[in-house]
Amino acid sequence: MGTELWLQRKALLIADEMGIGKTLQALAGFTQSETLPAAVIVKVGIIPQWVREAERCLPGIRVHTLKTRKVAPLPPADIYITSYTRLNAWAETLAKIVSSVVFDEIHELRHRDTGKYAGARHLTSTLAGKGGYRLGLSGSPIFNYGDEMYSAIDLLDEGVLGTFEEFSREWCENSTGHLKVRDTVAFGRLLLDQGLMLRRTKKDVAIELPKRTRI
């Protein structure tokens, strides 16, 4: 369901509970030729995990990892994987060649005044301009702060929540230096109803999960 909604909307935040398979939903999107080449942005420590999962789930897929900030010509590949710490250096290069981007643990981009956010913005804005696909993955996307949620949603689908000033005025109140959403239930319903976010718990998808194996 997450993959289908992403491909339909082109911009989506999948906020499923851990264990439901956010990574697999992203990889399933890469079975469609229009999403390739793709960029996947992750924390440094889980790059090997993404490489393994991509090669396991998509036999024959060409994966290339960007291991330094030094920009150089890239070899042909279906998926380019790099870290948030290297994103700003590679954003312009990737924006020219990829058709989709996946931000794993997108709450890494909750602050809009950082270099990595600037790189991410360049990448998503370029993709949106040419009809590309943008996906965020996070089981805990906002840490209860509206300004952080705005950062993630506006990055994926710029302007969909209005300007930051409009969003702040309509949905938030000041709280210890952050903007806190006044009515989290109503805001969550807005995101779900408009197809901006997909959020499911293990209980929601229990019928689809295999039986638990105790080891």
For 151-179, write each residue's pLDDT tens digit: 999 999 999 999 999 998 898 888 777 78
Calculate the dihedral angle through the C-alpha atoms of 29, 66, 17, 146, rounding to the nearest 10 degrees: -100
Classify strands 197-198 and 172-175 as parallel, antiparallel or unpaired.
unpaired
How many whole angstroms separate alpha carbon 90 and alpha carbon 68? 9
pLDDT at 207: 47
Give the rounded percent of residues in the chain with a pLDDT score beyond 70.
Answer: 90
State residue 125 phi and psi, 5-degree precision. Answer: -65, -40
Q: Which segment of 73-87, 88-102, 146-160, 165-179 scores lowest on mean pLDDT?
A: 165-179
pLDDT at 102: 98
> What's the 3-state SS for 77-114?
CCEEEEEHHHHHHHHHHHHHHCCEEEEECHHHHCCCCC
* CB 141 within 8 Å of CB 191: no
pLDDT at 173: 86
